[in-house]
């Protein structure tokens, strides 16, 4: 029987599929860390109170990248080059979602709208990250190898999502509500397309490594397309709603010192 747990267990049990999974995850987290670090450095003068929170966001992403690399090291594996079609964060940028790298590479302060775009993009992508990590948390929170990593990353992703909600609501109260909703909708619709394409690509690569049957690959592909159809119809709406989070000021202080994963 196909299930999220059985599929991930299959990927975990094979060195090559596990190496590809961790390499893809580590690459995305490292890119997110760089982006947040640059945004923190370029926050406009009128919004400098946000800079420490953005920096904290970036530090968490960097930490997640180190965690995935540590998981590889524990298995005696090295990261592999990430196939272009599986690079979620790069493909989002190619679709014009978020702040372009050439913009972030310049020593020029961002605008208020740039910060809103960053927060809206993060609100959408952190929704996805939070949901994915909660899925892994449900099945692998007590796993002897993955458990600690899953718990740590899931907590961080929930904090990032809460931070995005709170800051966007602050901007909405300041009169930017229409802009926020417009950018959120644009990001959400682009994200669900990219997520579908990346999911299909990852499953194709995993299928080649694990030698899945054509029937199994077809079934998984159909499931991905069905999820996309649902998200295109109504599921995207969960990515654009805003609500005051239970956890307030989730990134308002430096990360508490903790023993590095590895």
Over residues 184-199, the pLDDT tens digits come to: 999 999 999 999 999 9
Name the more confident of 260 and 228. Answer: 228
Does the pLDDT at position 262 exceed 50? no
Question: What's the chain's average pLDDT?
Answer: 94
pLDDT at 247: 87
- 141: Cα separation from own chain's centroid: 19
Task: Give, as one character, the DSSP assignment of residue 79.
Answer: -
Does the pLDDT at position 258 exceed 60? no
pTM of the model: 0.94
Give the mean pLDDT of 120-131: 97
CA distance 155 to 251: 12
CA distance 257 to 254: 9
Q: At what angle do helices 177-210 and 15-42 cross, to 10 degrees?
A: 160
CA distance 23 to 29: 10
Give the mean pLDDT of 1-24: 92
Express each pLDDT in 26-36 by its tens digit: 999 999 999 99
Express each pLDDT in 43-76 by its tens digit: 999 999 999 999 999 999 999 999 999 999 999 9
pLDDT at 255: 58
**4-to-13, 152, 237 alpha-carbon distances in Å:** 14, 20, 23
Three-state secondary-structure class, residue 228: helix
pLDDT at 3: 85
Both tokens of residue 48?
Answer: 């400098």
Both tokens of residue 131?
Answer: 């949901």
Name the more confident of 243 and 259. Answer: 243
Give the mean pLDDT of 79-87: 95
Give the mean pLDDT of 7-29: 96
Give the mean pLDDT of 160-177: 97
- 260: Cα separation from own chain's centroid: 20
The domains located in the chain, with CATH, are 4-239 (1.20.1260.10)
pLDDT at 145: 85
Give the mean pLDDT of 198-213: 97
Give the mean pLDDT of 18-43: 96
């Amino acid at each position: 029987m196909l299930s999220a747990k059985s599929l991930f267990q299959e990927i975990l049990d094979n060195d090559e599929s596990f190496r590809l999974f961790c390499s893809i995850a580590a690459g995305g987290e490292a890119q997110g860390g760089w982006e947040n670090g640059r945004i923190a450095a370029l926050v406009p003068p009128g919004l400098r109170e946000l800079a420490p929170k953005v920096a904290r966001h970036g530090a968490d992403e960097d930490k997640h990248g180190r965690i995935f690399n540590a998981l590889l090291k524990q298995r005696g594996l090295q990261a592999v080059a990430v196939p272009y079609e599986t690079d979620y964060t790069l493909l989002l940028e190619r679709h014009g979602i978020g702040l372009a790298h050439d913009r972030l590479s310049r020593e020029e302060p961002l605008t208020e709208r740039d910060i809103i775009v960053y927060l809206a993009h993060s609100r959408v992508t952190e929704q996805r990250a939070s949901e994915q990590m909660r899925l892994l948390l449900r099945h692998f929170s007590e796993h002897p190898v993955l458990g600690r990593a899953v718990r740590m990353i899931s907590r961080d992703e929930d904090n990032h999502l809460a931070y995005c909600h709170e800051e966007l609501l602050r901007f909405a109260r300041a009169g930017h509500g229409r802009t926020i909703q417009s950018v959120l909708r644009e990001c959400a619709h682009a994200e669900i397309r990219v997520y579908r394409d990346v999911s299909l690509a990852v499953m194709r690569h995993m299928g080649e490594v694990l030698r899945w049957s054509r029937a199994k690959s077809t079934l998984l592909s159909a499931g991905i397309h069905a999820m996309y159809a649902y998200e295109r119809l109504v599921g995207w709406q969960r990515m654009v709603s805003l609500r005051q989070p239970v956890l307030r000021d989730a990134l308002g202080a430096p990360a508490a010192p903790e023993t590095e994963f590895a």
